[in-house]
């Protein structure tokens, strides 16, 4: 028996999670939900996903585009055990009521607040706490990237204090509505940014403060990290810890990966679907211990890093796999990480 998964909100994150779920042998997509016809909806049908309209009033639009729909979200929820909600942030409360009515478990994304589910998820840091839960939030791309490295370093050496500057991509590559194209925007100007408290929704004991700048790029986020560790260690010790983690990829400028552009090209050359980089890209040669503190750079592919975490969250919530490390291994193997 494979777990029956619905995807509500088939955009940047939703379409990637759908393909990642379909690649697993213990879960299947029973349907995806779109509000209106589009090239994405057409391709989803070509891939064999059953297409559902978000509401009855959307069905006419699909008919006009000569697209068959299998029904509405309401009907899909009768078929599904769990729904991955990748709608834009702030629709959470409304949809939560609907999922509750149908007795379907649900996973939201980082655009929703922690309070919606009361539980925020990261595969390595708190898989066991997600076992059997009805509602979970997979934290944002930036928070996922930060939790991965902080959890690894905290487990090995103890994190005393983390100070991080995030240089955020302003828009996704398919986004024609947002900018800036000619500016760097301190965002938010009032510090600190929300990313630190978001990390604390998973790792509450870590002293972390963050600030963020919106940059004129679509490719990746770049994090500059400064961390005080409890135990004394060398740069080699840090490399040895990070290289063992399942979703951290160490790269080197010596291999001509000196920027987010080359990191994305690397993912494409690896033959990844949509050129996705699911792992944190940590520059090995940026790792420095200076005056007793650790410094390094990492790049985060915002469209991709939360995707394997959604797959693991499904396994935990449906208790298909009790052990987090086994789920991560399974997800990674199916995706080719």
Residue of 86, 138, 141, 219 marked active site: 141
| Stretch binding ligand NAD (CB under 6 A), from 159-167, 177-185, 301-309, 310-318 | 301-309
Q: Is residue 54 within the footprint of ligand NAD (CB under 6 A)?
A: yes
Site for ligand NAD in 163-222 (CB under 6 A): 172
Rounded CA separation 333/288 (Å): 32
C-beta closer to ligand NAD: residue 124 or 303: 303
Among 35, 210, 327, 332, binds ligand NAD (CB under 6 A): 35
For residue 72, the 8-state DSSP code is B
Site for ligand NAD in 118-157 (CB under 6 A): 140-141
Rounded CA separation 272/19 (Å): 12
Q: Is residue 37 within the footprint of ligand NAD (CB under 6 A)?
A: no
Contact 6, 30 (CB under 8 A): yes
**In the complex, minimum distance from the CB of residue 197 to ligand NAD, in angstroms, rounded to a whole number:** 16
Partner residues linked to 295 by β-bridges: 226, 288
**In the complex, minimum distance from the CB of residue 36 to ligand NAD, in angstroms, rounded to a whole number:** 7
Partner residues linked to 221 by β-bridges: 300
**In the complex, minimum distance from the CB of residue 326 to ligand NAD, in angstroms, rounded to a whole number:** 25
C-beta closer to ligand NAD: residue 24 or 58: 58
Partner residues linked to 4 by β-bridges: 28
**In the complex, minimum distance from the CB of residue 35 to ligand NAD, in angstroms, rounded to a whole number:** 5
Rounded CA separation 80/66 (Å): 26
Q: Is the dihedral of CA 313, 50, 104, 91 positive or negative?
A: positive
Closest residue to ligand NAD, Cβ-based?
11
Burial of 191 (0-12, 13-18, 19+ CB in 10 A): exposed
Active site (annotated) includes residue 141: yes
Q: Is residue 13 within the footprint of ligand NAD (CB under 6 A)?
A: yes
Site for ligand NAD in 94-123 (CB under 6 A): 109-112
Residues, the chain:
337
145 labeled binding residue: no
Q: Is residue 9 within the footprint of ligand NAD (CB under 6 A)?
A: yes
Structure tokens at 127: 């898989």
Rounded CA separation 15/189 (Å): 33
169 labeled binding residue: yes
- Spatial neighbors of 133 by CB under 8 A, at least 6 apart, are 105, 117, 119, 316, 317
- Over the range 83-94, which residues count as b (16 or more CB within 10 Å of their CB) and which as e? bbbbbeeebbee
Enumerate the known binding-site residues for NAD(+).
12-13, 111, 169, 302
- Residues that bind ligand NAD in the complex, under the rule CB under 6 A: 8-14, 33, 35, 54, 86-89, 91, 109-112, 140-141, 172, 302-303, 306
User: Catalytic residue positions?
Assistant: 141
Q: Which residues are annotated as a binding site for D-glyceraldehyde 3-phosphate?
A: 140-142, 195-196
């Amino acid at each position: 028996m494979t777990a029956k998964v619905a995807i509500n909100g088939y955009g940047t994150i939703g379409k990637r999670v759908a393909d990642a779920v379909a690649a697993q042998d213990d879960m299947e997509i029973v349907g995806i939900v779109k509000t209106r016809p589009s090239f994405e909806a057409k391709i989803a049908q070509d891939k064999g996903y059953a297409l559902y309209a978000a509401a009855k009033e959307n069905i006419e639009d699909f008919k006009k585009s000569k697209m068959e729909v299998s029904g509405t979200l309401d009907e899909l929820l009768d078929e599904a055990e769990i729904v991955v909600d990748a709608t834009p942030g702030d629709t959470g409360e409304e949809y939560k009521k609907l999922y509750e009515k149908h007795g379907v478990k649900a996973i939201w994304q980082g655009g929703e607040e922690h309070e919606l589910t009361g539980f925020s998820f990261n595969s390595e840091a708190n898989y066991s706490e997600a076992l059997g839960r009805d509602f979970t939030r997979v934290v944002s791309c930036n928070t996922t990237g930060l939790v991965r490295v902080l959890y690894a370093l905290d487990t090995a050496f103890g994190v005393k204090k983390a100070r991080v500057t995030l240089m955020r991509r302003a828009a996704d590559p398919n986004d024609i509505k947002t900018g800036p194209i000619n500016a760097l925007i301190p965002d938010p100007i009032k510090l600190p940014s929300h990313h630190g408290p978001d990390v604390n929704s998973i790792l509450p004991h870590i002293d972390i403060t963050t600030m963020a700048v919106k940059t004129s790029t679509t490719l990746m986020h770049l994090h500059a990290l400064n961390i005080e560790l409890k135990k004394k260690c060398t740069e080699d010790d840090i490399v040895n810890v990070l290289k063992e983690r399942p979703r951290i990829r160490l790269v080197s400028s010596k291999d001509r990966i000196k920027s987010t552009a080359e990191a994305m090209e690397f993912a494409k050359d690896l033959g990844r679907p949509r050129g996705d980089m699911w792992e944190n890209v940590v520059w090995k040669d940026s790792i420095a211990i200076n005056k007793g503190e650790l410094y390094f750079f990492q790049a985060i592919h915002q469209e991709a890093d939360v995707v394997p975490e959604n797959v693991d969250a499904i396994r935990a919530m449906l208790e298909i796999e009790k052990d987090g490390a086994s789920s991560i291994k399974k997800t990674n193997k199916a995706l080719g990480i």
